[in-house]
Structures are given as structure tokens and as C-alpha cells.
Chain A
Amino acid sequence: MSGVDFDKLSEQLSAYLDGELSGRERAAVEAVLKKSEPARKRLAELKQVTSLVGALPRHLAPESIAEDLMKAAERIQLLDDNGRAGQAPGGGWRIGLGVLAVAAVVTLFVTVALQFGRSPGESLFGLPLASLDKGEGTAAEPHHLGEGPVGSQVTQSDDAWSAPRGRNGVADETRRRPHGKKAPDEVTSAAPHFWEIDLESEDLIALAAVANVTQKLTAGVDNAGLRAHQFSNESNVLSVAFADAASRGAAADRLVSDLVLHGSIDLAQSTEPPQNRDFYYHGNVDYNFDASDEEQILVHVRTSQLSRVLHEVGGSADSPADVRLQIGPIAARGYEPAQALIQIAQERYASGGDRKTTASLEEDAESSSTDQAVRRETLAGEAVLRDVVKVLAGKSEAPSESSVDMDDKAPSEQSEQEDAAEPDESSQVDAPVATGKGEERRRSKQKDSDRAVDEEDVPERTPLVERRLDTARKKKAQREGLRKAQDSAEEEPAPGAGAPWRQTPQPETRQADPTDDPYVTLVVRLLLKPPPGAKVPPSSRARPQNANDNSDAKPPSH
């Protein structure tokens, strides 16, 4: 055997030792080992080497590492508390975004260390942390933490150490903090925990993903909150309940495929932070959410694409009543009301008038003192919408069927209640089958709705209402035409046809001016209906915590 061949064989032996050869390669190596004494000898030597290196003693990390890091984290929290002061509390769009705030304050924290003359390779923790509260350090240009988006201070560089900006400002700002005179412990214990990272890497993924949604930085990330809210603090949520995991998975796949086909990028796979463009983020039960009965897809699309999203997901449900859509403060239960709500939302966005529906909440919140105030204002601005939706949904519908919730609760409260109650509600829904009874019921409801249109029983005749009525009349005419055509056709539905209530979405009507068709973030929640008779207590939705699991088990690689 030549030297080159033996080197190659030796490399294979090394990989063989590690169990890194394919079955075929392994068989080849074993065949050589049977015949070749030098090969066996080399394998033994490699084994000896790996055993010796593997048996080298290990040190426990000095306890001071954790202590110092905790001090650093406390320091971050102090700074974060200051950053929070300039912003409205709460707000779904903030969930998770504080991760970047953490990044910002860590960067700033590091720059403080650098200010004290430490180089990147040196320890940060000789830094006299308490000195910050005492006002040590040099005052310089003002630091804007808390006066604007924290994100403006995040360095885009991978290397946090190379971010000199705000270096002096941190010390200056820290001195000016209103609670600067309090003892650090007092402040940190009083401040809400702004971040908690679960040991599951998937939670970090979720945090990172959410942080990338708008690239806006606010203090207030709360991983526990993220899990509890399931993104439900987002103003726009489409919930669809499925009878089994297979149909749910198929719906998720269909939606994702459709999103990809229409140019949406996978947020988790994107190497660049998505700015103002379509993207989606698909988290499933094994990834980043507690609930064992749902998947979630975070969708960032233009309003004109919402109806397609509804069609892809809601169209797969067993019953229209399994579909629920919340846009801003309005929740529509049922497929058709959801469609109507989307159309209304589109018009509202396109009208350029009172846009205080959903996306503008985000802008408003920044200038408002509290989210609640913004929401109240929003609710008032939605009064017309409510009336229209009532008309469209049919006022005589039973509440458990297609209906529209017009609760004046803040979206977050509403969502939380929904989170707790939704599985039970789903189980209470008398889900009609796609044909037969369900069709009769649908037609009955439609008649009610049409009657409302005919009688023009509208409480308030605004231009918007007029437009909606026009649309409803046209739809009624279309339906009647379709019904006649169906009546004359065979009773047997065409193969592959969906349930009658599953309508093909209208073609996207993108506005000439993109600003008339703004992006919205929609949380698509794909639920599983509990088995008949089963009651799922809200508490059981939480994933068992494994925070105490300190095993060295390697997390699953992706």
C-alpha cells in the first residue's frame, strides 16, 4: 500500500473510530482491517490518542462567572427599565422585540466597560458596576435611551465590541435615571422581568423571529409572556380549528406553499432582516410554543393578500364556524364574516381616512401615553365598521354560529380570554358537515343576511355603509345566479369541490400606490379541536417546564 493510500486509509480509520462513515465506507474499512496489520495498528494508535485526549480532566467553571454574568444581567435590566419609561407599556407588537433592546443595552454595557479601558479580550467584570449609580464616568454627549427607539443604538455589526457609540452617554444617562438613587436590588426587584430565556433553543428562535418582525426595539420582552400570549397580543389573529392533526398540517403546508409562491420569505431562514416585504414565520408545537394543540404561522402580507390567507387556511376547516378572525378590536366568527371583515379592513386601509384599525395602532402607540388610550380611540373609530359587520353577518344568527364579537375589550384582554376558552368553544360548536345540514344552515343564514340587505335595515347610513351595501347586493346577485346554476346541475358535487362556503378568494387588487395597501401582521393559529366531550383546562396548555433540567444533553440539531 502506498503512502498516499495509507494516509487516506488512516483518515478513514479516524472517521471509522468516530462512527462517521457511511455503511458502505464502514464495510470497506472493516474489510481492510481484517487483512491489514498496519491498519489495525494505526486504528489502535488513534484509539489511544482519542482516549487520552478524551480523558483529560475537566474543570467546573468558576462560580464567579455566573455571579458576574448575573450582575451584568441586572445592569441590563436597570438600563432597560430606563428605556421602558419613555414608551407605552404593553402592546402586542412589542412582544419579543425587547430582545434587541437587550442587545442594545448589552452593547452599551460593554461600551461602558470599554470606557474603563478594557480591551475586548479582557474581562469585563472587573468593572465596578456600582460606580455607575454613583455617577462615575465621564459625561459627554446625551444618550437617547428611553427618548426614542432603542434600536437606533444597536450596532449592526456582528461585533458588539466594536460599537463605540453612546459610550459616554451611558454613564451620563445612568446618572440621570429617575431611580438612580435607589439601591440596585431595590430597582431590579421592582422592575418586571423584561426577559427570560427558556432553556429550549426553540424559544430563542421565536424570540429572534419576533424581534425581526418589525426591527423595532422596545423594552418589555417577556418570554413567559410570549409563550402565554402565543403572539395573541398581535392585533390580527386568524384562528381555525381542525378535527385532526393531518388536516391541520395540510392546511399549514398549503398556506406556507402559497405564501412562498407569492414571494413571501421564511423569516427563520432569511439572512437579512425583512424590511417592508412579505414574510412568514412558522412555529409549530415542537418548536417555540407551549400549546400542544396548535401551530402558528406569523404572516406579514399586504391587506389585499389577507383573503387568500383566509381561503388557504379557513377553507380547509370542517365548518365555517371553526374560523375566527380578529382584526384590531373586531372579531368575526365564521368564514363569511371573516371575509367581510377583511374586505372592510382593506377598504379602510385603502381609504386613507381613519386608519386606526390595526397597523396604525403601532404608530399611534409610539406617540400615545398608553396603549389603552389608543385602543379606546380605535374602538371609537370602529363604530361604523361594527354596524356594517353586523349587517353582513346577519343579526339573527345564533351566537355560537357565525357571529361577530363586538366586545369593547382591549384586544389583548380579548385574546387572552380566547386563548383560554377557544378549545372549549370549538368543542361546543355543533360543527355541521360540509354538505346537508350545514348547507341548509348556511343558506338560511344567507337569507337572513340578504333580507337585511333588501330591507336596508341599516342603523347608520354612512358612505362606507353604502359601499358595503352595494357590495353585498352584488354578492347576493352573484349568489342567486350561482344557486340557479347549481340547482339546474346535478346534485352530486364535482370531485375536489370544497364545502359550499369555501369560496375562491377574489383576485388581489393591489393598489397602484403601495401605501394604500399597507402591510399587516397576521397571526394564523391552527388549532386542534379537543375530542368530543373533552375539556381542556387552560393550564394544561402550558408545556412542562424543564428549567431545572441541567443535564448536558445536547439540544436537537436542526
Chain B
Amino acid sequence: MEAFGKLVERYQDRVFNTCWRICGSLEDARDLTQDTFLKALSGISDFRRKSGFYTWLFRIAVNMALSHRRKMKHRAAVSLDQATNPAGSQAERLIDRIEQAKTSDPSCEAQGAELQARAVGALYGLDDDQRAVVVLRDIEGLDYRDIAAILDIAPGTVKSRLHRGRLALRQVLVSPQRANEG
């Protein structure tokens, strides 16, 4: 029991932050973190040494977060479509999300960091696949191989998704004039 507590203690912050940055909601991230540990516990017999425990745990977390986000997106599809321009580019959708992020992310509110708010909004505006890769690489600092194992994709796919995600972020985060030059 004590060891289980230590296991949770060791990984909960990273799992929590990953879930948070993928699903975009602190409350949902909390639930997803709990569910991740429970699912890991229940699926321990499926764990094999092909991957490390950390990778395996994150695979569960990311899959749950992405699955949760898809459900949320489906539920909110109508309202989002009304609020945003369906024909707009991804960059336009990112900018829309920045305003939402300012009110939904307490850390940004507290710090009042405009740039961070823009980064958060831009991140949440990315496609799910790209956001997962960006979060795992730029926030969690995992290498391509681990990311590939977590997402069950080829390292080459990690590379291209990450690149596309960064380009999308660049359009919002780097000055529009400079970005357009590229």
C-alpha cells in the first residue's frame, strides 16, 4: 500500500500535467490522472518489458486524455462551430482559443503573462495528434522514440507531426509579420 502511494507520488505530477495540457482542463486532468493509475493497476498483467513502465503509464494517460478530448469535442461540436469560423485556418482557430485560454487557465490568469496565454491557447488549438506530440516533446521532454512508443506511431511520424505542430504554433506565437515571411 505504501509502495503504491510512492508510485503515485512519483508520477502523478507528470501524468497530471500531460493530461492537463492535452485535454485543457484541470478538473478533467485530475480525473484522468486518477483513472490512469487505476487503469495501470488493472492492466498490470498486460505490461511487458518491450517498453519501460514510465512509457507504458504515459501511453495509458495520453490515450485516455485524447479519448476524453474526442468525447468532449463531439459534445461541444455544435457550440464550437457556432463560436468559430468553420472555414477558418488552424491559425485562426488557435487565436480564438487564446481568448478562451485566458479565462480557462488559472495559471495564466494569475501570472498575467500574455505570451504564455497565447502559447496555451495556441497549444489547445492544435489538432489532437499534433498537440499530443508537442506536449510530450516540448513539455515533458521525451525523445522521439519514447513518444513513438507512447502514441504507437513511427518515429518518423513523430518528427513530421511535431514539425507541423510547431509551424502551427509559430503562426500564432511568432510575430505574424515574421511568420508570414516564412
Give the residues in chain A near B52, CB-CB below 8 Å: 201, 554-558
With A69-B8, A73-B4 as given contacts, are A11 and B30 in contact (CB-CB < 8 Å)? no
Q: Are A56 and B41 in contact (CB under 8 A)?
A: no
Docked CA distance A190–B55 (Å): 35
B152 at the interface (CB under 8 A from A): no
Give the residues in chain A near B107, CB-CB below 8 Å: 57, 59
Give the residues in chain B near A352, CB-CB below 8 Å: none
Docked CA distance A558–B120 (Å): 33
Give the residues in chain A near B159, CB-CB below 8 Å: 11, 14-15, 20
The stretch among A96-104, A390-398, A411-419, A426-434 that forms the contact with chain B is A96-104
Contact of B38 among A72, A197, A287 (CB under 8 A): A72
B80 at the interface (CB under 8 A from A): no
A193's nearest neighbour on chain B, judged by CB, is B1
Q: Are A196 and B4 in contact (CB under 8 A)?
A: yes
The stretch among B81-89, B91-99, B162-170 that forms the contact with chain A is B162-170
Give the residues in chain A near B56, CB-CB below 8 Å: 201
Docked CA distance A41–B71 (Å): 39
Residues of A contacting B: mostly = helix
Size of the chain B interface, CB-CB below 8 angstroms? 79
Give the residues in chain A near B174, CB-CB below 8 Å: 45, 48-49
Contact count A vs B, C-beta below 8 Å: 231
Docked CA distance A63–B136 (Å): 23
Proximity string of chain A (212-228) to chain B, C-beta cutoff 8 Å, 1 when within and 0 when not: 10000000000100000
CB distance from A362 to the nearest CB of B (A): 19
Q: Are B45 and A69 in contact (CB under 8 A)?
A: no
Docked CA distance A42–B163 (Å): 11
Q: Are B3 and A198 in contact (CB under 8 A)?
A: yes
Size of the chain A interface, CB-CB below 8 angstroms? 82
Contact of A121 among B55, B68, B146 (CB under 8 A): B68
B145's nearest neighbour on chain A, judged by CB, is A557
Contact of A268 among B46, B48, B134 (CB under 8 A): B48
CB distance from A66 to the nearest CB of B (A): 5
B5 at the interface (CB under 8 A from A): yes
Closest 9 CB pairs of A and B: A201-B53, A61-B16, A196-B3, A123-B31, A106-B42, A61-B12, A57-B107, A14-B163, A53-B138
Q: Can you list 15 residue pairs at the A/B interface with Cβ under 8 Å?
A: A11-B160, A41-B178, A41-B181, A49-B173, A52-B116, A59-B20, A103-B42, A106-B41, A124-B34, A197-B3, A197-B4, A201-B56, A204-B44, A554-B52, A554-B142
Which A residues fall within an 8 A CB radius of B?
10-11, 14-15, 18, 20, 38, 41-42, 45-46, 48-50, 52-62, 64-66, 68-70, 72-74, 76-77, 99-100, 102-103, 106-107, 109-110, 120-125, 158, 160, 188, 193, 195-199, 201-202, 204-205, 207-208, 211-212, 223, 268-271, 287, 547-548, 550, 552, 554-558
Which B residues fall within an 8 A CB radius of A?
1-10, 12-17, 20-21, 26, 28, 30-31, 33-35, 37-39, 41-56, 68, 71, 107-108, 111, 115-116, 119-120, 123, 134, 137-139, 141-146, 149, 159-160, 162-163, 166-167, 169-170, 173-174, 178-179, 181-182
